[in-house]
Amino acid sequence: MRAVEPAETGIATSPDGVRIAYEVFGAGDPTIVFLPSTPIVHSRQWKGQVPYFSRQYRVVAFDGRGNGRSDRPTEPDDYREERLIGDIEAVMDATATESAVLVGLCSDGVWRAIELAAAKPARVLGIVSFAAGVPGMAPPHPFKVQWSFEDELPTDEGWAKLNQHYFRRDYAGFARFFFEEITSEPHSTKQIEDAVAWALEGSVDAMIADSMLAQDFELDDILATLRAVRCPMLLVHGTEDTCQPVERSRRLSELTGAPLVEVEGADHMIPGRHPVLANLLIRDFVRSLAQETVQ
């Protein structure tokens, strides 16, 4: 049973032909689009937000390529930035959404929302960022990059599980390890179980393709993208985030002037682990946009 059923379901076709499954809930302005963390989980990652916001607003959520009911392409180029941004626009077009508030988590949701806002400012009313994974803001956690993803490793302990060969041998083991690491707060069993189940509904080949993609971001290009964003942003980050260092949101806040809410002791999955807090922060941000429009 779901807390709320969609008023509309459909398939959008991205510019490269990949089919993206979406759902629409509720009614009311503005539309809020919850962006996927693709391809590791699907749109159910927002199950703590969709029912609440669909009472007052129109809500769109979609499965990113590689998981859920969307297509699962298996070439690294299929996960390039421009293709994932194309997915967002395709869903907005298919749902007749001219503009929306975008809510994202990590690099998959946050950086792509920023890129779309920079390129198509009329389409993005505002951005709520959880655990911003914007390139170039701060170095990654050392433990996440100490092992090769491509090579066969002598161990599969700890973060050595972030490896294509281990994925093939025991993807369930990786999913369990990963979500336990990034949802490390006490009493997170349900959130971990949900995330592991969503990961296992996805595609190992899609995960490998996404992880194999080498994208070099020039700092000057990143800064130019940030300067091009005109819409308001709200940044939210846990101080104990083991996926995206909190320093990334701190630097993003410095560069853009966007307010940053640091959640003391929280790890990466704030919308799932702290849904009430996440919902109130999103709600107040959306209300502030309406107040700016009136003024």
Q: What is the mean pLDDT of each run of 10 residues along the chain (295 residues)?
A: 93 98 98 95 97 98 97 97 97 98 96 98 98 95 95 97 98 98 96 97 96 90 97 98 98 98 98 98 96 64
- Tell me the C-alpha distance between 138 and 267, whole Å: 17
Domain boundaries, the chain: 8-139+215-294
Specify whether the CB–CB gap between 122 and 100 falls below 8 A: no
| Nearest alpha-carbon partner for 267 in 242, 248, 245 | 242
To 10 degrees, the CA torsion angle through 16, 98, 110, 238? -150
Global pTM? 0.96
Q: In this structure, how many other beta carbons lie within 10 angstroms of the beta carbon of residue 194?
A: 19
Q: Domain 8-139+215-294: give its CATH architecture.
A: 3-Layer(aba) Sandwich (3.40)
Q: What digits encode the pLDDT tens for the residues 176-217?
A: 999 999 999 999 999 999 999 999 999 999 999 999 998 888
pLDDT confidence of residue 277: 98
Q: What digits encode the pLDDT tens for the residues 243-283?
A: 999 999 999 999 999 999 999 999 999 999 999 999 999 99
